Chain A
Amino acid sequence: MKNTLTISGSPHVHGSWTIEKAMYGVVLAMVPAMLVSFYMFGLGAVRVMLMSIVACMVFEYVIQRYIIKGPVTIMDGSALVTGILLAFNLPTSIPSWMIITGALVAIGMGKMSFGGLGKNPFNPALVGRVFMLISFPAAMTTWPKPIVSRPFFSFQGLDEKVLDSITGPTPLGMLTDGADGTMPEYVNMLMGSMAGSLGEISALALIIGGVYMLARKIITWHIPVAYLLSSFVFAGILWAVDPTQYADPMFHMITGGLILGVFFMATDYVTSPMSAKGQIIFGVGAGVLTILIRVFTPYPEGVSFAILLMNAFTPLINSATKPKRFGEKQPA
Chain B
Amino acid sequence: MSAGEPIVSFPLPKQGVIPVTQHLGAPAKVLVKRGDTVKTGQLIAQTAGFISANVHSPFTGKVKKVDQTTDASGYKRQAVIIDVDPQEQWEEGIDTSHDLLREITADAKEIVEKIKANGVVGLGGATFPSHVKLMVPEGKDIRYLIINGVECEPYLTNDHRLMLEKADEMMVGIQVLMKGLHVKKAIIGVEANKMDAIKHLKDKASHYEGITVEPLKVKYPQGGEKQLIKALINREVPSGKLPLDVGCVVNNVATAFAVYEAVQKNKPLIDRVLTVTGKKLLKTANLKVRIGTPVSQLLDHVGGLPEDTGKIVSGGPMTGKALTTTEVPVVKGTAGILVMDREEAWKATPRPCIRCAKCTQVCPQGLEPYLLHQYGEMKRTEEAEYDGIMDCIECGSCNYTCPSARPLLEYIRYGKAETGQMIRNRKSN
Q: A: which residues have CB within 8 A of B?
A: 1-2, 4-15, 17-19, 21-22, 73, 76, 78, 115-119, 220, 269-271, 274-275, 322-331
Contacts and interface: CB of A to CB of B under 8 A. Distances in A.
A52 to B, nearest CB: 21
Contact of A11 (B236, B239, B400): B400
B347 interface: yes
Given A118-B354, A323-B366, A9 B403 contact: no
Interface string B360-394: 11011111101000000000000000011001001
Interface stretch (B16-24, B136-144, B307-315): B307-315
26 contacts: A6-B310, A7-B323, A7-B324, A8-B311, A10-B315, A10-B317, A10-B321, A11-B399, A12-B311, A14-B405, A15-B400, A17-B402, A18-B403, A76-B351, A118-B353, A270-B355, A274-B368, A322-B387, A325-B365, A325-B366, A325-B391, A327-B241, A327-B391, A328-B236, A330-B236, A331-B235
B214 to A, nearest CB: 18
B404 to A, nearest CB: 6
Contacts of B342: 4
* B226, B347, B366, B401 interface centre (most CB from chain A within 10 Å): B366
A14 B348 contact: yes
Given A11-B409, A12-B317, A14-B400, A5 B312 contact: yes
Nearest to B319: A10
Contact of B361 (A5, A21, A220): A220
B344 interface: yes
B238 A328 contact: yes
Interface string B37-71: 00000000000000000000000000000000000
A2 B325 contact: yes
Contacts, number: 163
Contacts of A118: 352-355, 404
Given A8-B407, A10-B322, 6 more contacts: A9-B413, A10-B394, A17-B402, A325-B391, A326-B237, A326-B366
B156 interface: no
Contact of B355 (A9, A274, A325): A274
A220 B356 CA distance: 10
Interface string B265-307: 0000000000000000000000000000000000000000100
Q: Classify the secondary structure of B's interface with A.
A: loop
Nearest to A20: B403
B238 A327 contact: yes
B192 interface: no
B387 A5 contact: no
B410 interface: yes
A74 to B, nearest CB: 13
B357 A10 contact: no
A327 B322 contact: no
B365 A326 contact: yes
Given A14-B400, A328-B366, A269 B354 contact: yes
Contacts of B413: 9
B358 interface: yes
A8 B239 contact: no
B122 interface: no
A118 B354 CA distance: 4
Given A10-B409, A14-B399, A325 B354 contact: no
